[in-house]
Structure 1
Amino acid sequence: MNTPPPPRTSSRSLRVAAFTSVVLLLLAGCSGAGDDSRLDTGAGAAQRAGAAGLRIALITHAGKDDAFWERVRKGAEAAAAKDGIELTYANDPDSTGQAQLVRDAIGDRVDGIAVTLAKPAAMKAPVAAARAAGIPVVGLNSGIDAWKSQGVLQYFGQDEIVAGAAVGDKLNGLKVKHALCVIHERGNVALEARCAGVKKTFGGETENLYVEGTDPEAVDAVLTARLRQDSDIDEVVTLGAQFALDAVDSVQAAGSRARVATFDLNDDLVKAIRSGSVQFAVDQQPYLQGYLAVDSLWLYRTNGNISGGGVAPVLTGPAFVTRTNVASVAKFAAAGTR
């Protein structure tokens, strides 16, 4: 998940792009049982479903040049290439803009929409409009507590409360006393859930620190100042790989004894884990989220399959990456798929 500088990186008019790379992936957890009332049985939809070249839109709350979301997109592209799908990718970190992108996709009469639900209230109406138009919608990455109530067909991602609780347990094992959980986007339900999960199981003091993730200099200044104010803080937990690397610098600038751990992974963070400057990362496997979301729409349109039976999310994490197992994921991180 993770957050977004403010400028939009795509126009509101979606453009179709075909992708050519072919990747074979073992897909687990797809079931065939579904609610027939949710199938679009119109003649036009049936003809499209039976033919090659389904048109799928992937719409996220990503910002420009965010490495995390490039992994989501790569996974989606791989699934689209395998399935012969014409995939459109569009994104807007502003929830109003993202909602409009969903409406644009409805207007383009796509065969399916995969969407993130970082701010579920803003997506409720456009998701309902898609369903009313007979367009199946699947969720990914954000909104695990909202997808079913909004009538989204399937969901792929990490249960952030569970992931945060696992981090809290790990901090207990490391004898941490005072953890600072750095939230880089206010109102993002997934980020709030991560810190809530940490607090749920961590036996020491948990403190949330809100920063403006779109301004790296401001993040560094606020975090450095807080660490200087309180020498008892002995752990900084960030919610995105790039923020962990910034936190390492802030700890050094503040002269703090705090260690750094994080959610999410990238190639630079793998190197930081190897060097010991970051203790561990929680990997939610964003490539897998993108892949499964797109592939699930193909399976639904061509065979009526619903992953998780439409009642349970398909979890892609949490998976801990530490110094002891980082070598096993390094080559995938370098390739931009982990």
Structure 2
Amino acid sequence: MISARMMLSALACSSAALLAGGAMAEPVEKWCEGVRIAAFPGGPQGGVFANNVYNGFRQAELDLGADVTYYFSNWDPNLMLQQIQQAVATGVDGIATYGFAGEDATGPIVQQAYEQGIIFTTLNTSLRDSQAAYGPNGFGYVGAPNYDAGYALGAEAAARAEVSEGDKVFVWGLRSQGGDRGQRTVGVIDAFEAAGLEVIYQEIDAATNANPNAGTATFVGLMGANPDVKIVVTDHGGLTSNVGVYADAAGLEPGDVYFAGFDMSPNTAQAVQEGYQNLVIDQQPYLQGYLPILNICLTEKYGFSGLDINTAGAFVDATNVDAVAPLAAVEIR
């Protein structure tokens, strides 16, 4: 298999020849045809967020002509790690996956992949040490800078909800998850504590991580024990999509509690329109699927270095949800 370094050398020679002859490259359809890629949507097949990533993967596969195999992991970092190892063993040309398992567990597999000539790149959750080592060889990142995104959501929610020092807020997140993913929850908590708020924290358990409905009793119990909670943050796209269910089960009306969370979905758009969900930071997961496939194709075919793209640049609320809702309905936004 031709390495990225060899490809760059060959391209330099060919570019010089093109310039000398005055030739111009012509656009090519399906220019990534024949490149085999293992892609990881993250959650269960058809699940919230995972489906947006999957839709991005599939569109890139269609546009570029790559041969893509999909691995669904039920948001389980250990299962995902096993599947990544399986993908490396198959000798694909590239792997696009999350960094959920963290650097210590995933870094050796990244090294093995590059030693075998496999391009490895990440989405949603970064592996910054691996990216620093292999960025010139195609290792990129498409997603949010997770701590910063968490802090931004917490700070924005505190400002908009007009809370006072000492007020209670509930953060339902994944602080204990390894690596960069847990830092998003840490960012939310840090923002609230900087605003002088009392944080009640609940780790999302494995059952709720895989199926948000499994967390309904947890939410009802916590809110019953803390009826003075002013803000609830759901640090998980699936849980954010279920806010209407949680609120109804807890006997909450729109406006009783300020709900903030991550990621658009059809249910989340509806909850914003109905007044249950107040603020959403949109990571644009469709791009987290599409762009890593493009990244791998650009590196494999042309020797480009890895992309590094922040997809979480906007909030969705009642003022702009109507523009986003039709795209959320077809799981593009």
TM-score (norm 1): 0.78
Q: Is the 8 A contact 1:228 1:255 kept in 2?
A: no
Equivalent of residue 39 in structure 2, options 34, 58, 70: 58
One-letter amino acid of the structure 1 residue matched with residue 100 of structure 2: A
- Residue 146 of structure 2 corresponds to residue 160 of structure 1: yes
One-letter amino acid of the structure 2 residue matched with residue 271 of structure 1: Q
After superposition, the Cα gap between the structure-2 partners of 1:270 and 1:250, relative to the gap in structure 1 and judged at 3 Å, is closer
- Give the Å deviation of 1:196: 1.4
One-letter amino acid of the structure 1 residue matched with residue 188 of structure 2: V
Counterpart of 1:317 in structure 2 is: 312
- Residue 102 of structure 2 corresponds to residue 107 of structure 1: no
- Residue 82 of structure 2 corresponds to residue 82 of structure 1: no
After superposition, the Cα gap between the structure-2 partners of 1:143 and 1:207, relative to the gap in structure 1 and judged at 3 Å, is farther
Q: Secondary structure at the match of 2:310?
A: strand
Q: Secondary structure at the match of 1:287?
A: helix
Q: Is the 8 A contact 1:144 1:157 kept in 2?
A: no
Per-residue displacement from partner, 1:61-95 (whole Å, max 9, x unpaired)? 42343121111111111112111111111132443
Per-residue displacement from partner, 1:246-266 (whole Å, max 9, x unpaired)? 444434444564221211110
TM-score (norm 2): 0.79
Equivalent of residue 178 in structure 1, options 168, 176, 187: 168
Q: Is the 8 A contact 1:163 1:197 kept in 2?
A: yes
- Residue 237 of structure 2 corresponds to residue 227 of structure 1: no
Q: Is the 8 A contact 1:59 1:89 kept in 2?
A: yes
Query: Following the alignment from structure 1 to structure 2, what is the Cα–Cα distance between the partners of residues 259 and 249?
Result: 15
Counterpart of 2:189 in structure 1 is: 199
Counterpart of 2:322 in structure 1 is: 327
Query: Following the alignment from structure 1 to structure 2, what is the Cα–Cα distance between the partners of residues 271 and 232?
Result: 25
After superposition, the Cα gap between the structure-2 partners of 1:95 and 1:269, relative to the gap in structure 1 and judged at 3 Å, is closer
Map 1:92-171 to 2 at 5 A: 92=73, 93-120=75-102, 121-143=104-126, 145-148=128-131, 151=134, 153-171=139-157
Q: Secondary structure at the match of 1:317?
A: coil
After superposition, the Cα gap between the structure-2 partners of 1:270 and 1:144, relative to the gap in structure 1 and judged at 3 Å, is farther
Counterpart of 1:265 in structure 2 is: 264
- Give the Å deviation of 1:59: 2.9
Q: Is the 8 A contact 2:99 2:180 kept in 1?
A: no
Give the greater-gyration-radius structure (CA). Answer: 2
Query: Following the alignment from structure 1 to structure 2, what is the Cα–Cα distance between the partners of residues 91 and 249?
Result: 25
Query: Following the alignment from structure 1 to structure 2, what is the Cα–Cα distance between the partners of residues 195 and 106?
Result: 30
Q: Which structure shows the bigger proportion of residues in helix conformation?
A: 2
Q: Secondary structure at the match of 1:306?
A: coil
Query: Following the alignment from structure 1 to structure 2, what is the Cα–Cα distance between the partners of residues 221 and 184?
Result: 18
Counterpart of 2:203 in structure 1 is: 210
Q: Secondary structure at the match of 1:117?
A: coil
- The answer to which of 240-249 and 119-128 deviates more is 240-249
- Give the Å deviation of 1:158: 0.6
Query: Following the alignment from structure 1 to structure 2, what is the Cα–Cα distance between the partners of residues 113 and 253?
Result: 41
- Residue 21 of structure 2 corresponds to residue 39 of structure 1: no
Query: Following the alignment from structure 2 to structure 1, what is the Cα–Cα distance between the partners of residues 175 and 151?
Result: 20
- Give the Å deviation of 1:171: 2.0
Query: Following the alignment from structure 2 to structure 1, what is the Cα–Cα distance between the partners of residues 332 and 219?
Result: 30
After superposition, the Cα gap between the structure-2 partners of 1:245 and 1:83, relative to the gap in structure 1 and judged at 3 Å, is closer
- Give the Å deviation of 1:245: 4.5
Q: Is the 8 A contact 2:171 2:189 kept in 1?
A: no
Query: Following the alignment from structure 2 to structure 1, what is the Cα–Cα distance between the partners of residues 32 and 314?
Result: 38
Per-residue displacement from partner, 1:209-253 (whole Å, max 9, x unpaired)? 123213545411122111111222111110234313544443444
- Give the Å deviation of 1:127: 1.6
One-letter amino acid of the structure 1 residue matched with residue 101 of structure 2: K
One-letter amino acid of the structure 2 residue matched with residue 39 of structure 1: R
After superposition, the Cα gap between the structure-2 partners of 1:150 and 1:91, relative to the gap in structure 1 and judged at 3 Å, is farther
Q: Is the 8 A contact 2:283 2:311 kept in 1?
A: yes
Q: Secondary structure at the match of 1:39?
A: helix
- The answer to which of 183-192 and 132-141 deviates more is 183-192
Query: Following the alignment from structure 1 to structure 2, what is the Cα–Cα distance between the partners of residues 196 and 98?
Result: 23
Query: Following the alignment from structure 1 to structure 2, what is the Cα–Cα distance between the partners of residues 74 and 217?
Result: 24
| Runs of 4 or more above 6 Å deviation | none
After superposition, the Cα gap between the structure-2 partners of 1:100 and 1:77, relative to the gap in structure 1 and judged at 3 Å, is same
After superposition, the Cα gap between the structure-2 partners of 1:217 and 1:304, relative to the gap in structure 1 and judged at 3 Å, is closer
Query: Following the alignment from structure 1 to structure 2, what is the Cα–Cα distance between the partners of residues 38 and 234?
Result: 52
Query: Following the alignment from structure 1 to structure 2, what is the Cα–Cα distance between the partners of residues 235 and 248?
Result: 15
